[in-house]
Amino acid sequence: MDNQLISTTQAVDPVFIFIFGACLVMLLGITAAMILFVVRYRRSRSPEPTSDRDGSLWLEIVWTLLPTLLVLAMFYYGWSGYLTLRTVPKGALQTKAVARMWAWSFQYENGKTSDKLYVPVGKPVQVNLESKDVIHGFFVPAFRIKRDVVPGMKNHVWFVASRPGSYDIYCSQYCGTGHSAMIGKVEAVPEAQFTAWLNEAKEEKEGDEGMAHEVFEKFGCLGCHSTDGSQKVGPTFKGLYGSKVNVTRGGKKETVTADDGYLTESIKTPAAAIVEGFPPIMPAPEGITDAQVKAVVEFIKGLK
Amino acid sequence: MSSDATVTPVTGGFWEDTGKRGIASWIFSTDHKRIGLLYLYSVLGFFLVGVFLGVLIRLELMAPGPTIMTAKTYNAVFTVHGVVMIFLFIIPGIPASFGNLVMPIQIGARDVAFPRLNLLSWWLYAIGAVIVLTSLFTGGGAPDTGWTFYVPFSARTGTNVSLAVFGVFVLGFSSILTGVNFVTTIHRLRAEGMNWGRLPLFVWSLYATAWVQILATPIVAITLLMVIAERTLGVGLFDPSRGGDPVMYQHLFWIYSHPAVYIMILPAMGVISEVIPVFSRKPIFGYKMIAVSSVAIAAAGSVVWGHHMFTSGMSDTAVMVFSFLTFVVAIPSAIKVFNWVSTLYRGSISLEAPMLFALSFILLFSIGGLSGLILGAAATDIHVHDTHFVVGHFHYVMFGGTGFAFFAAAHYWLPKFYGRRYKEKPAIVAWALMFVGFNVMYFTMQVLGMKGMPRRYFDYLPEFARLNFVATVGSWILVTGLIIMLVNLWRGLLKGEPFEGNPWGGASLEWITATPPPTENFEEDPVVTHGPYDFKRAGEP
């Protein structure tokens, strides 16, 4: 790692320590004075007030000026730390995070896509943020970074992972039913490993299953639909094919069999028939091909 | 004969002297005290609704995964908790209830300047509240946007956002009219001798608040209409694909909603400035500084809204300016705290219920305010923004601050208006439970936020489980205390010991009139001869 490079965590943590420290001193001071006065001047011990002093110009000046200086220091310190967060080091690796309800996907300059953000340890990474629907928030607590992902707006963050490891990405801006399930990962790996991963030829899984996984990655389907029977925001894929499903279509309730036709319709126009007990919130996957839809249907068939 | 069998209701004063009884004598009354009590019971009712929803939120978060409800229900629950608590409880809370009850008496007036407008304000409040409640059970169901109604989510969701937002729009008029009424009253109806330097600090705080209500509320009203236009007409004001801007919504929303924080906290600070000197038997320290700082907070607080948006993508210059201004607003708040604590010095302090609530206000407000410094500094805000740290922070200020001040006011002033008092011991037990439960719950939330748990989370990773459980236990302690307090107040005010005269030795005008006060407050208009904290002359006008 470049020794001159200050990580976002290193820029922010001293500011936390400074402000928390100053706050703790103030809080202890105020509390101690209150307790001391209440004990010392309680009515049983001090039946009459021993002073009727109602102000002091000097005290007012002192306790106006001192907090002013203190908060100015906090402002300055906070601002300079913030500048580090906003100043992307030269030569940072360029990546893009695409947010949609409710999944993250990541893209690299060579066109590689991934559902995890792989990064090389010790190298600065710039993440350009793009939203496909509503406002999301890209938040990695371990790096102290956060930025809203606003549709139609160019936002970015940067960070450097000092140690290899796996770090959580949360969505910090409330975005609906699946908000808290919108968790991604930063995978920090040694640079050589990263380069190999970035340049490896696309792992072509055979046939439909490979294509289905490509679709899942691109549209974030598995953010809401599980493949193991557990309940998420949408119905699970497991055991779905051939089952009887209660849906509401055009305001009327009906029971249908989940066959090829039904599944194809539900993927291409999700709003047409809404499964009972689930919210009508799935966006239609823009630009999905018939071959891709077929691949997903075949994949679901396989999950008995 | 048993005294329990024939419980005499409250008697005397404004309760009886008009000779009118029944519901119509309340909901069509123009007496500021009756309107104040109408508000008090309305806001208390909604407070309890909000508390119930808050308890549900904590129960859901007690353990990871779905606990008692679905994600969709949870989102509606925290949205309605926020809308009810902010718009139906805490904004009208102290100013409309205790402000109406006490302020005209404190300045020696017979009523507010526009009594019928005052009644209209309550009706608008009631109508707005009914509209908000209707929105929960009609159309697409309770809104699930969070109380901030951020676009584009609020423009897309199928829930009944339009009606809820319209209800809030109507509530805004109630708030504006109360503001106009109070400003006029304080300017025009002060008794002879009640000059600006003799105004009780509660009145000063209401005066500053009223200006914020008048100036800031119209902006949120327009913004909410824009959301409705966006939803029903698809205008595209906030839609980037049609030339709109979602961040613009956030500016418009917070231009009101940050000053609204001061609508919530300033009157609370006013209550504390009344209670502390009375129970210390010592003039308030730094009267002028406290009065001026209320106005300074109202003014400077109007230009700090951008600190809600440091991560939104607005320019770095804007972040710098708003961060700087936010720190400026911290100074008058600190001045108030120092003056309150200095008032205790060499006093004669009596730790009765109102005083306990007031002293704990200072502590809880200080924790809330100091954690606000973390949020004001740009670098640290980025990490804790939109996490449970923020949830803890604003509950310290709004609940630990305004909520506890509301309870202090209830214990301090309600006996005056009922002529009966609550029992002291249960009040102290209730206070202690609430104080402990409060800190267990909200301090834990701040720790969770530091560890990175975002807010508005239905589910969370296992590493947050233990602290969330602790916070939920805190909520049970808090609610236990709250129930004891309310039952004690209720029983005491209806059938407790008689409350007469001026047992605490207050020197402001409400303590020289009869208990309960007559309809026009004083037998004859008082001529004021001393300040509100001149306790040696308590009992004289």
Q: DSSP for B244-282? A: --HHHHHHHHHHHHHHHHHHHHHHHHHHHHHHHHHHHTS
Query: What is the C-alpha to C-alpha distance for residues B486 and B488, in angstroms, rounded to an integer?
Result: 5
Closest-CA residue in chain B for A82? B379
CATH of the domain at A53: 1.10.287
Nearest residue, CB atoms, A49 vs list B346, B373, B374: B346
Record: contact B71-A180, CB cut-off 8 A: yes
Closest residue by Cα to residue B409 from B523, B491, B485: B485
* Least CB–CB distance from A174: residue in B146, B245, B338: B146
Chain B nearest CA to A273, separation (Å) = 16
Q: Looking at the partner chain, which of A16, A54, A74 has a beta carbon nearest the beta carbon of B284?
A: A54
Question: pLDDT tens-digit profile of B315-341?
Answer: 999 999 999 999 999 999 999 999 999
Nearest-neighbour CA in chain A from B179: distance (Å): 30
- Alpha-carbon distances, residue A152 vs A131, A176, B245 (angstroms): 8, 19, 8
Mark yes or no for CB contact B156/A26 under 8 Å: no
Is B465 domain-assigned?
yes
Distance from A113 to chain B by nearest Cα, in Å?
25
The backbone torsions φ and ψ at residue B432, rounded to the nearest 5 degrees and listed phi first, read: -60, -45
Q: Which secondary structure element, helix H or strand E, spans residue A186, and what is its range? A: strand A184-189
Contact B398, B376 (CB under 8 A): no
Q: Which pLDDT score is estimated for A205?
A: 57
A3 assigned to some structural domain = no
Q: What is the pLDDT of residues B96-128, one digit of tens each?
A: 999 999 999 999 999 999 999 999 999 999 999
End residue of a domain, out of A142, A164, A199: A199
Beta carbon pairs, A and B, within 8 Å: 263
Q: What is the pLDDT of residues A21-36, one digit of tens each?
A: 999 999 999 999 999 9
Assembly ipTM? 0.90
Domain identity same for A123 and A60: no
Are A64 and A23 members of one domain? yes
Binary contact (B379, A12; C-beta < 8 A): yes
Give the count of domains, chain B. Answer: 1
Does B382 map to a domain? Answer: yes
For residues A34 and A17, state if they share a domain: yes
Residue of chain B minimizing CA distance to A34: B341
Q: Which residues of B fall within a CB distance of 8 Å from A33?
A: 341, 344
- Which has the higher per-residue pLDDT, B280 or A281? B280
Burial B465-484 (b: 16+ CB within 10 A, else e): eebbbbbbbbbbbbbebbeb
B168: containing domain = 27-537
Distances from the Cα of B212 to the Cαs of B39, B100, B298, B331, in angstroms? 20, 17, 7, 19
Residue numbers in B near A151 (CB within 8 A): 152, 240-241, 246
Task: Determine, yes or no, domain membership for A66.
Answer: yes
pLDDT at B2 over 50: no
Same domain, A243 and A263: yes
Query: CATH number for the domain including A249?
Result: 1.10.760.10
Q: What does the DSSP 8-state code read for residue B90?
A: I
Return the residue in A45, A54, A149 with the most chain B beta carbons within 10 A, the one to mutate for interface testing.
A54
CA distance, residue B106 to nearest chain A CA (Å): 20
Give me the torsion for CA of A141, A144, A147, A149, rounded to 10°.
Answer: -30
With a cut of 80, say whether residue B3 has pLDDT above it: no
Residue B313 is nearest to which of A134, A155, A172, comparing CB atoms?
Answer: A155
Question: Is the CB of residue B145 less than 8 Å from the CB of residue B161?
Answer: yes
Q: What is the pLDDT of residues B179-191, one digit of tens each?
A: 999 999 999 999 9
**Are both A217 and A296 inside the same structural domain?**
yes
Give the pLDDT of residue B1.
Answer: 36
Q: Is the pLDDT of residue A226 over 90?
A: no
Q: Is residue B18 part of a domain?
A: no
Give the chain B residue nearest A100 (alpha carbons).
B153
- Stretch B141-154: mean pLDDT, rounded? 90
Question: A 44-83 residues with CB below 8 A of B?
Answer: 46-56, 59-60, 63-64, 67-68, 71-72, 74-75, 77-83
CB burial class (10 A; 0-12, 13-18, 19+) of residue B295?
middle
Amino acid at B430: A
**CATH for B93:** 1.20.210.10
- Residue A36, in any domain of the structure: yes
Per-residue pLDDT band at B417 (split at 50, 70, 90): very high
Which of A9, A18, A19, A58 to mutate to test binding with chain B, by most B CBs within 10 Å of its CB? A19
Q: Clarify whether residues A66 and A19 are in a common domain.
A: yes
In a domain, A103, yes or no: yes
Number of domains in chain A: 3
Of A69, A86, A103, which residue sits at a domain end?
Answer: A86
> Do residues A171 and A136 touch, judged by C-beta distance below 8 A?
yes
Residue B236 resides in a domain: yes
The shortest C-alpha distance from A247 to chain B (Å) reads: 17
Contacts of A81 (CB under 8 A, 6+ apart): A11, A12, A14, A15, B377, B378, B379, B380
Q: Which of A176, A30, A169 is closest to A101 using CA atoms?
A: A176
Cα separation, B129 vs B531, whole angstroms: 39
- B-chain CB neighbours of A181 within 8 Å are 71, 459
The answer to whether residue A1 is domain-embedded is: no
Q: What is the pLDDT of residue B6?
A: 44
Tell me: do A74 and A97 sit in the same domain: no
Among A86, A119, A135, residue at a domain's last position: A86
Domain region containing A271: 207-302
